[in-house]
Amino acid sequence: MARHAVITGGAGFIGSHLVDRLMGEGGWNVTVVDNFDPFYDRAVKEENIRPHLDDRRFRLIEADILDDDLEGRIERTGSGPIDRIVHIAAKAGVRPSIADPVGYHRVNVTGTLKLLELARRQRVAHFVLASSSSVYGEDPNVPWKEREIGLVPISPYAATKIAAEEFARVHARLHALRVTILRFFTVYGPRQRPDLAIHKFYQCIRDGRPIQQYGDGSTRRDYTYIDDIINGVRSAMDREAGGVCEVYNLGNSGTVMLRELIAAIEGTMGRRALIEVMPEQPGDVPQTYADVRKAERDLGFVPGTPLRSGLQRFQDWMSRPVQARG
């Protein structure tokens, strides 16, 4: 009998890649919950999931995770009892969260809590929560190991992710709900949101527009290719190691300076970038760097995509006509 996975944010960048993986595996009924937030063009998300719309194993619920009737709508899909919830939906972005902390709390904290309650009522076997490297704040002790105390967020977005993690832990302890928390590190690749750095940099270089570089280019990020992230998520969905609630870093376990990233993109495209140096932005951390040894031990997670290879794949995807990107 097919298992039933509910994926929130399943029409977005990371979620749609997970949908592709599960649909390709077989043995899954997949229900996507997505509100098609106008943060970016709706047509992009529609194209992400278009290949699955006519598949009887796939259901799309256009809804907000805060909607009171969401549970009933999932039940009415006829896809069977829920075996897994993979909660990826969120209001994203550090900088926008500074202007709208209440909105970010509403979606990222209250929305997560409502889904945890849904999981409790439905007796879901496993709840996988997408979190973020932003929870580590400005901790200078890198690479970062998974810890739950002493986290000091420097943006409302990061604070909401920590709060969501805490509610997930509470539900795991009180209700024996199996929970896996995944802290993603700077995910990139095909379908990446157009507001994110790598996507914007490619567009600017292609169009001959200047890249806005915040600061002197010395900030560092642990850039992680989408296929590696999906490998980690998929392993987490079937996690048997560890306790009822575990947290894992999913990163490339390396760190790259911003100016090195720009140079790598220039090399991939064979074109020079125009650079406009801008002041550093509030909420941006100076570095991210994942220690993934725990994920390797428990999930078999081994990131396998070097930055230049991942950038080349992204370049190949960007070079296709929009309707052929998939």
> pLDDT of 243-298, one tens digit each?
999 999 999 999 999 999 999 999 999 999 999 999 999 999 999 999 999 999 99
pTM exceeds 0.95: yes
Q: How far apart are CA 122 and CA 120, in angstroms?
A: 6
Residue 225 bears catalytic tag: no
Active-site residue, selected from the candidate residues 104, 157, 225, 248:
157
Domain limits, the chain: 3-186+223-253+289-303
Residues 101-115 as b/e (b if ≥16 CB within 10 A, e otherwise) read eeebbebbbbbbbbb
Give pLDDT < 50 ranges for the chain: none
CATH number of the structural domain 3-186+223-253+289-303:
3.40.50.720
Model confidence pLDDT, tens digit, residues 156-166: 999 999 999 99
Q: How far apart are CA 149 and CA 136, in angstroms?
A: 10
DSSP state of 137: T
pLDDT at 150: 86
pLDDT at 38: 86
pLDDT at 148: 86
